[in-house]
Amino acid sequence: MTLKLGIPSKGRLMADTMDWFPTRGITLEKTGADREYAARAVGIEGLDLLLLSASEIPRELARGRLHFGVTGTDLIHERLAPVEAFVAEEAKLGFGQADLILAVPMAWTDVRTAHDLDAVAAQFRAAHGHRLRIATKYHRLTRAWLKEQGVADYQIVDSQGATEGTVAAETAEAIADITSTGETLTANHLRPLDEPPILQSQATLWRSLTAMLSDEEQAALDRFRVKLGL
Amino acid sequence: MTVPAIRAEAARLLAHFTSQGAQPFETGILQPAETLLDLYGEDIRARAYTTQDPQRGEMMLRPDFTVPLVQWHMENGADPARYAYAGEVFRRQEDHPDRPTEYLQIGFEIFDGSDPAQADAEAFATIRDALGPLTPSTGDLGILTAAIDGLATTDARKQALKRHIWRPARFRALLARYSAETPAREAIRSEAPLIGKRSAAEIDARHAALAEEAQTPALTPQDRSTLDAILALRDTSPAALAALRHLANRTPHLAPAADRLEARLDALAALGVDPTCLPFQTTFGRTLLEYYDGFVFGLAPGPGHQPVATGGRYDALTRLLGRGRALPAVGGVIRPDLALEAAR
C-alpha cells in the first residue's frame, strides 16, 4: 500500500495547495480530463494523491483512510473532538486565512460584546417568545464559544450557505461564519462583535494519528516529512 | 459489572420505590426535541443525541425522565403523587470520552406542595435508604436566590444574576461588573438599514437599559460580602444554618430561606437522618443539567467520586413547563451500575 495525501478538490484552496507543494520539492499534477478528480505527486515515491471535498478531509483523516490531508483549521476543529486524538498539525500553509466570527446587524448599535449579545438574547426571548437564532454551519465551535462567554437564550439554526442573508430573510437574528475581508458581511448590513474571533483559520497540513502504517508506508512517511522539511 | 446484574439492581430499586407507594411511570426513548430545547437551550444539544424525522421533526434520545414525567403528571395526574421509573438515558460525553453515553437510570419523584420541607426530607431519605452506605452532599440554591433578592440594586441586575445562577463563571463575571462603577456608553445611531426581527423600539429600550446601568451604583461592600459568604458557605448542616441565621440579621431577605432550611433539617431528623452528618454547601449541584432551584443532594462513595444518586427540588422547571402553573416537585435519580460498584 502507499501513503495517501488528500487535498481539496476545488477552487482557490486547491490551486494554492498545488502551488505550495512545489516550493518544498514535490510537484502535484492533475491527470486525466479537466473535470476528472485525479492527480499524482511527482518528485517522491510511494505517495498517492487524492482529491476530496475539503469538508470530508477531517473525517477521512480521523478514520485513518488518509495519512495526510490539507484542509482548514475551522473544519478540523468543527468536525473532530478532541482534535489531538485524531490528527497532528504538520505545517501551516500560509493561505486560506479566515476568521470565524459572530456578526449582528449593523443597526444593533447597542451590541458590541458577548455580554451585550447575552443581554439582548434575554430581551429578545421575552419579546418574541422564542430564542435568538444564530445561523451557522459551525455548530460545535459556535456553541462552545457562546458557552465559554456565558451567553444564554440563543438557538443555533443550521445554514449551509448564503448565511449572511439569513438575517434579512428573518430566519435568524445573528450569524456565525468564516470571513476574510468582511465584504460580504458589510454588503449584508452585518458587523462582527468587538471580540477576538471564535477561531482563526488557515489551510494546514494534518497528519492522521489513527492511520495504520506498514513498514513501506512508514518509510514513505519519513521521506515525505524530510522532503517537506518537517 | 455485567449487564444482567445492572438490570437486576434497577429492577430491585424500582420494586423498592413502588413498594413505598410510588406509581410506575413509563415513556418513550424518542422524545420531541422542542420542549427539551426550549427548557434547557443549546446546552442540551451538546449533551443529548438529536435525530431528525421527516414527520415528527427533531427528536431526542431521552436525556432524562423528568420532563416527560412532569408533562404527563400535568395532563393526567392527581396531586399529591409519587412516581418511580427505570430505563435507559442517553448523554453525549464530548468532555468526558471515558464516561458511558447510555446507562440505566432509576428515579423517584414527589409532586406534593402541601409541605415542601417534608417532601424534601422524604425524597432524600427514600433514596438514601434504597442504597448501601454512601457519603451525602447537600445544598440549597434557594438560598442564593434569596441572597440576590436581598441586594440593594435594580431589578434588572437581580434578574440577570438569577438568570445565570447555573453558569458559575458568568455569574462571577456579572458580580465583578456590578461591583464596580459602570462606564456610560453613548447611544449612537446607525445609518445602516435595520434588518431582521428585532425592532428599533427594542434597540431603543436596550439603550435606555444601558443608560440606567450607567446610573446604577456599585454593589455595597456589605452586600458583596454577604453574597460572597453565601457562595462560600460550606459546613455541616447545623453550622451552615447558624451561619445563615447570622447573615440574616443584616440581610432580612435571608430569614425565610433559613426557616426553610431549618424546617427541612427537622423533617430529616424525624426520618432518622442526623443533620450533623449532612455536609452542606450552598452551591452544591449548581452545574447539574437538572436545573434544581431549591434543596439539592448527592450520594457518592466518597469525595471526588461520581455520585451514585443526585436529586433536588425543581419548582422553576415545572413552572416553565406548566406555563406559569406552579407544581412543587422534588426527587432524584440513581445510577444502578455505580450503585453496584460502590457496594463492592
Amino acid at B65: F
For residue B264, is it within any domain? no
Same domain as A10, residue A86: yes
For residue B274, is it within any domain? no
Euclidean distance between CA atoms A150 and A130, whole angstroms: 19
- B160, B194, B210 ranked by CB distance to A105: nearest: B194
Same domain as A216, residue A173: no
pLDDT in the model for residue B324 = 75
Q: What sign does the dihedral B326-B279-B286-B67 (CA atoms) show?
A: negative
- B189 neighbourhood in chain A, CB within 8 Å: 109
- B37, B42, B196 ranked by CB distance to A143: nearest: B42
Same domain as A214, residue A178: no
Which of A219 and B96 is assigned the larger pLDDT?
A: A219
CB contact under 8 A, B193 and A189: yes
pLDDT in the model for residue B77 = 83
Q: What is the mean pLDDT of residues B265-270?
A: 98
- Supply the pTM of this predicted model: 0.89
Residue of A195, A200, A172, A182 lying closest to A114 (CA atoms): A195
Same domain as A213, residue A151: no
Percent of chain B past pLDDT 90, that is, above it, reads 76
Predicted confidence band at B78 (pLDDT cuts at 50, 70, 90)? confident
For residue B231, is it within any domain? no
Same domain as B161, residue B212: yes
Same domain as B90, residue B13: yes
Q: Are B327 and B319 in contact (CB under 8 A)?
A: yes
Q: Indicate the range of A28-32, A72-76, B217-221 predicted with least confidence.
A: A28-32
CB contact under 8 A, A154 and B42: yes
Which ranges of A112-214 does DSSP label H, i.e. alpha helix? Answer: 114-128, 139-149, 183-187
Q: Which residue has the cell 435571608?
A: B254
Choose, out of B155, B163, B170, B171, the residue to mutate when testing the contact with A (most A CBs < 10 Å). Answer: B170
Tens of pLDDT along B52-61? 888 888 899 9
If you write DSSP's letter for every residue of B29-76 in order, what string do you get?
Answer: SEEEHHHHHHHHTTHHHHHS-EEEETTTEEEEE-S-SHHHHHHHHHHH
Provide the strand spans (E) within B135-227: 135-140
Q: Are B85 and B24 in contact (CB under 8 A)?
A: yes
pLDDT in the model for residue B330 = 97
For residue B141, is it within any domain? no
Tens of pLDDT along A14-27? 999 999 999 998 99
pLDDT in the model for residue A69 = 97
pLDDT in the model for residue B290 = 60
For residue B76, is it within any domain? yes
Euclidean distance between CA atoms B93 and B228, whole angstroms: 32
CA A79 to chain CA mean position, Å: 9
Same domain as A106, residue A85: no
Which of A206 and B316 is assigned the larger pLDDT?
A: A206
Q: Are A142 and A102 in contact (CB under 8 A)?
A: yes
Residue in chain B nearest A155 by alpha carbon? B42
CATH number where B11 lies: 3.30.930.10
Tens of pLDDT along B289-311? 667 889 999 999 998 898 999 99
Q: What range defines the domain where residue A129 resides?
A: 98-200
pLDDT in the model for residue A20 = 95
For residue B66, is it within any domain? yes
- B202 neighbourhood in chain A, CB within 8 Å: 123-124, 127
Q: How many domains does chain B have?
A: 2
**Residue that terminates a domain, selected from B193, B219, B245:** B219
Residue of B337, B341, B271, B342 lying closest to B106 (CA atoms): B337
Interface of B to A at Cβ within 8 Å reads 37-38, 41-43, 45-46, 94, 97, 159-160, 163-164, 167, 169-170, 173, 177, 187-190, 192-198, 200, 202-203, 205-207, 209-210
Q: What is the mean pLDDT of residues B149-158?
A: 96
Q: What is the mean pLDDT of residues A43-60?
A: 93
Tens of pLDDT along B115-136? 999 999 999 999 999 999 999 9
For residue B285, is it within any domain? no
Q: How far apart, in Å, are the Cα atoms of A117 and each of A132, A175, B199, B210?
A: 9, 12, 15, 13
**Residue that terminates a domain, selected from B219, B234, B249:** B219
pLDDT in the model for residue B316 = 86
- B200 neighbourhood in chain A, CB within 8 Å: 107
Using the Cβ of A189 and the Cβ atoms of chain B, whether some distance falls under 8 Å is answered with yes
CB contact under 8 A, A110 and B194: no
How far does the CA of residue A6 sit from the closest CA of chain B (Å)? 27
Q: What is the mean pLDDT of residues B16-42?
A: 92
Same domain as B126, residue B10: yes
For residue B241, is it within any domain? no
Q: How many domains does chain A have?
A: 2
Euclidean distance between CA atoms A54 and B224, whole angstroms: 52
CATH number where A155 lies: 3.40.190.10
Question: Cβ neighbours of residue B293 under 8 Å, at least 6 residues apart?
Answer: B141, B142, B145, B165, B312, B313, B314, B315, B316, B317
How far does the CA of residue A209 sit from the closest CA of chain B (Å)? 17
Predicted confidence band at B326 (pLDDT cuts at 50, 70, 90)? confident
CB contact under 8 A, B170 and A143: no
Same domain as A140, residue A191: yes
Same domain as B124, residue B22: yes
pLDDT in the model for residue B261 = 97
Given a cut of 90, is residue B323 above it in pLDDT?
no
Same domain as A102, residue A74: no
CA A175 to chain CA mean position, Å: 16
Given a cut of 90, is residue B342 above it in pLDDT?
yes
Residue in chain B nearest A85 by alpha carbon? B97
Same domain as A128, residue A15: no
pLDDT in the model for residue B131 = 96
Question: Cβ neighbours of residue B124 under 8 Å, at least 6 residues apart?
Answer: B136, B138, B268, B273, B295, B297, B311, B332
Given a cut of 80, is residue B288 above it in pLDDT?
no
Q: What is the mean pLDDT of residues A136-148?
A: 95
- B169 neighbourhood in chain A, CB within 8 Å: 150
Given a cut of 80, is residue B79 above it in pLDDT?
yes
CA dihedral angle for residue A139, residue A140, residue A146, residue A149, rounded to 10 degrees: -160
Q: What range defines the domain where residue B188 resides?
A: 155-219
Percent of chain B past pLDDT 70, that is, above it, reads 99
Given a cut of 90, is residue A44 above it in pLDDT?
no
Choose, out of A110, A111, A134, A175, the residue to mutate when testing the contact with B (most B CBs < 10 Å). Answer: A110
Same domain as B159, residue B108: no
Averaged pLDDT score across all residues of chain B: 93
Provide the strand spans (E) within B80-131: 81-90, 102-111
Helix axes B255-270, B141-149, angle to 10 degrees: 160
Same domain as B102, residue B40: yes
Using the Cβ of A156 and the Cβ atoms of chain B, whether some distance falls under 8 Å is answered with yes
Same domain as A145, residue A65: no
Same domain as B166, residue B111: no
Q: Which long-range contacts (CB under 8 A, 24 or more apart) does A112-115 make?
A: A112/A193, A112/A194, A113/A193, A113/A194, A113/A195, A114/A146, A114/A149, A114/A150, A114/A151, A114/A193, A114/A195, A115/A149, A115/B173, A115/B177
Euclidean distance between CA atoms B287 and B164, whole angstroms: 11
Q: Are B314 and B104 in contact (CB under 8 A)?
A: no
Same domain as A102, residue A174: yes
Percentages helix, strand, coil for chain A, rounded to the nearest 5? 35, 30, 35
